[in-house]
Amino acid sequence: MIILIVAVVVAIIVTILALRFSAFRNWLVFAVSEAEKALGGGTGKLKLRYAYNIAIKYFPTLTKMIPFSLFSAMVDKALETMRLMIDTNKAISNVINNKDKDRE
């Protein structure tokens, strides 16, 4: 009976952490988009640091738990997602690239 209770508690904790981690990965797309708007293209290391500094502010516990190398890999994936969004959605491209609507 105790083993079953422990298993259920562990399953609940793992589910909560997985959802939190998934939300964090989705949030990273926002963070790298903000970094792209602030710093522009060709600034990979600066964007990584920018996103990391924002993550520390909003997810202090999580950023202490994951190694920086994992965070860096997650940022790379978020950048891929952001670039796909820019390539497929003109409105997103305009926002991230700071283009005025009147110029188009």
Assess contact for 56 and 63: CB atoms under 8 A. yes
pLDDT band at 82 (very low <50, low <70, confident <90, very high): confident
**Tokens describing residue 22:** 């998934």
Assess contact for 29 and 90: CB atoms under 8 A. no
Task: Select the highest-mean-pLDDT range: 17-21, 51-55, 99-103.
Answer: 51-55
Give the integer Cα–Cα distance in Å for 1 and 21. Answer: 30
Is residue 100 over pLDDT 60?
no
Tell me which residue has tokens 């990273």: 28
The whole model's pTM is what? Answer: 0.68
Is residue 5 over pLDDT 50?
yes
Give the integer Cα–Cα distance in Å for 73 and 85. Answer: 19
pLDDT digits 0-9 by tens, 10-43 = 877 777 766 666 778 888 988 888 888 888 777 7
